[in-house]
Every structure is written in structure tokens, then in C-alpha cells.
Amino acid sequence: MIEIPSTVKLRLDGDALISNWQTLDRMSGSASAGAAIKANAYGLGSVEVVQRLQAAGCRDFYVANWQEAREIESHLEGGSCISVLNGVRAEDMPFAMISAAKPVLNNMEQVYRWQETGRSCDVMINSGMNRLGINPMDIARYDWSDLDIDIVMSHLASADEDVPQNEQQLEQFIDALDHVRGKRRSLSNSAGIALGKAYHFDCTRPGLSLYGGKQHAAYEKTIQQVAFPETQILQVRDLKIGDKVGYNAKYTAEREHPIAILAMGYADGYLRGFSNEGVFLSDKTMLPVLGRVSMDLIAVDISKAPDLGESDWVTAEYDLTIASRQSGLSQYELITGLGNRFTRYWA
């Protein structure tokens, strides 16, 4: 088959990924940082991410479901663990019984189901987020001594905000730990690590900040961008005063200037919130997005880089803090939304 070179590429910075994990591991104090790699490592590619983080010393990996566990199982080194955050349904049991991964037990039905296997597991406590997890009442009522529990964990709902809920969840978690004991305890996601020592316990579970997310001021200077969406110019044209650009004519030229049409669009996850707000970069030169983002095309102003031409490459400004402000999307949506048309490459 003849290779067809892609018009959209996602450049992934392996050094930045490792530096981010080391930063989060260091900030976790005496606790060790794991890595949330659900949703294909937030869209970056879970196998590559696992291999790189293992080489740096990361040992605990968190996926959402058993399909994701299977994806990375054969890449685990000795001493590494996978936790399946969404738990174990009845229909997961045939695979779970032969898998190297362990379920995070989220309700009492899962506890009864898993207890019979005698295999290792984690336990999720509902400390007030009311998503998945066992309520403190049920934790206190049950005799956990027959289960082989590795991590007892809970999850913070608002770690990226300075609100009383963080401390309330911390207290609920500590109370519940009187009644259920595992080998290790874990509470914090990326933003939770920045809340300080009381939130660290034995292991932490960062996801977003590994991949460049900065949901806490402490990360603005230390966490580095990992994912850089790149695309090619398909056409260059000159606008005259009054010329309009794109669907519904959301940009009208007030001066004569050149524009470039790029081979990326909202089908790639560069959503319409970037219309008239986003920026692309050619080296350091900023190229503002003009008009609506289309499904497969974007127009940018190249007044400041008039030498750009067909087949040249440009990079989306995708610092997650900045891109979130431009688009109105969350940092999570920005990183997980990058689509399948991107050729992902590590550099």
C-alpha cells in the first residue's frame, strides 16, 4: 500500500512528560506518584505513555475499564500495577479473572463478587463526590478482613478550587480508614497534590498535569506542555477590504492582508470555541484564527508571516491554560478531544 502522509500531526514531548511526572512525584513528598492513563492516556496513547513513565520509575497506572487494562497489560514491568477505576461488572469477570489488573471495588455488589476470587483489589470510598464509591456507613458495617486490598482510595471533587469541600472530603476519608485497611492509601489527583502533605497519604494519582494541565497556580511554572497539534497549509490567499471568511461570514477584513487555510478542524477536536479566538504559531509568530472553525479547515491571518505558503507546517497554540481561556473548553476536554486523524509522534 502507498503511504498517504497525514495533514495533521500531534507532536508529543517525551522529556516534558517525564519532567511532569518527576515534578508531581517530588511534590507528592513521601508518597509515590502513579499515573491516570484512562481514555488512552488522555488521548496521547497509553502504551507509549506507560513505557515512558515506567522507565522514569512510575509503577501505579489507573485505567477506566478492562479494555483499557488489556491494551497495556503486556507492557507492564515487574512491580507495576493497573487499577480499573470503573470497577468490575458481572460481565467483566471472565477477563478480570485472567487479567494482571485489579478492580477498584466501588459498591458492595462488587465487593461480594470479588471476595470469592481471593484476588487483589482496591477499594473506593465515597467521601462526598457522590460519583463512584462505597458510602462510609457501608464501609463501617462490613468486615473487610477477607479481602486482599492493595489501595484504599477516594477522589476529590474540587481540588482545583480553594473550597471547604476539600477538607470535608479529607476528614471523611480519614474516618473511613479506621474501618477498612489496605496496604496503601490514596486521595489526590493532579490538583490534590498541590493541596499539601495532608492530602498525599501513600500514593497519588495524577492525570491531567502529566499531560500539561495546570489547574493549580503551583503548576504554572513547573508543568510543561506535552502535546503540540500541527497542521499543514493547503492554500494561501489575499483578502481585500470587506472580504468575508468562512461559514456565516464571522470575519470581515478591515484591511488588505494574506490568510492561510489549514488542514485541521473541529473534527480533529479543535472545536468551534476557537473561532476568532484561537492562535497558531509559525516559530514564534502568532497567527490568529479568523472566522468560524470548519469541520476540516481553519483560516488564519498570516500578515506577520507573509512568506508562509502551501505545504508549510504551523502549530496550534495549545498551552492548556491559554487554550482553555481562548476556547471556553476545560483543560481535560482540550487534551482528550484531539481526534484520530492526528498522526501521533514522540520527539
Ligand X SMILES: *Cc1c(COP(=O)(O)O)cnc(C)c1O
Provide CB contacts within 8 A for 332, sequence distance 6+.
Answer: 42, 208, 213
Should residue 126 be labelled a site residue for ligand X when binding is judged by CB under 6 A?
no
What is d(CA 204, CA 192) in angstroms, rounded to the nearest whole number?
9
On the 0-12 / 13-18 / 19+ scale of CB atoms within 10 A, 317 is buried
Identified binder of ligand X from the candidate list 128, 136, 207, 246, rule CB under 6 A:
207
The separation between CA 235 and the C-alpha centre of its own chain, rounded to angstroms, equals 33
Instruction: Please name which of 92, 87, 83 lies closest in space to residue 106, comparing C-alpha atoms.
Output: 87
Name beta bridge partners: 36.
62
Would residue 160 be called left, alpha or beta, if left means φ above 0 and alpha means ψ between -120 and 50 degrees?
alpha
Stretch that binds ligand X, among 171-179, 199-207, 218-226, 259-267 (CB under 6 A): 199-207
Should residue 53 be labelled a site residue for ligand X when binding is judged by CB under 6 A?
no
Report the run of H or E that residue 283 belongs to, with start and end: none
Which residue number, 36 or 105, has a Cβ lying nearer to ligand X?
36
Provide CB contacts within 8 A for 162, sequence distance 6+.
Answer: none
DSSP track, 63-113: ESSHHHHHHHHTTPPTT-EEEETT---GGGHHHHTT-S-EEEE-SHHHHHH
What is d(CA 93, CA 30) in angstroms, rounded to the nearest whole number?
35
What is the pattern of x (binds ligand X, CB under 6 A) and - over residues 135-174? Answer: --------------------x-------------------
Should residue 125 be labelled a site residue for ligand X when binding is judged by CB under 6 A?
no
Query: DSSP secondary-structure letter at 125?
Result: B
User: Would you call 244 a catalytic residue per the annotation?
Assistant: no
Should residue 189 be labelled a site residue for ligand X when binding is judged by CB under 6 A?
yes
Stretch that binds ligand X, among 66-74, 93-101, 202-210, 312-320 (CB under 6 A): 202-210
Q: Which of residues 80-99 bind ligand X (CB under 6 A)?
A: 85
Which residue number, 205 or 341, has a Cβ lying nearer to ligand X?
205
Should residue 133 be labelled a site residue for ligand X when binding is judged by CB under 6 A?
no
Q: Closest approach of Cβ 21 to ligand X, in Å?
A: 12
Q: Closest approach of Cβ 169 to ligand X, in Å?
A: 12
What is the pattern of x (binds ligand X, CB under 6 A) and - over residues 56-85? Answer: ------x----------------------x
Q: Which of 112, 197, 247, 345 is catalytic?
A: 247
Residues 259/301, Cβ–Cβ less than 8 Å: yes
Which residue number, 173 or 251, has a Cβ lying nearer to ligand X?
173
Chain contacts with ligand X (rule: CB under 6 A): 36, 38, 62, 85, 155, 189-190, 205-208
Catalytic residues: 38, 247
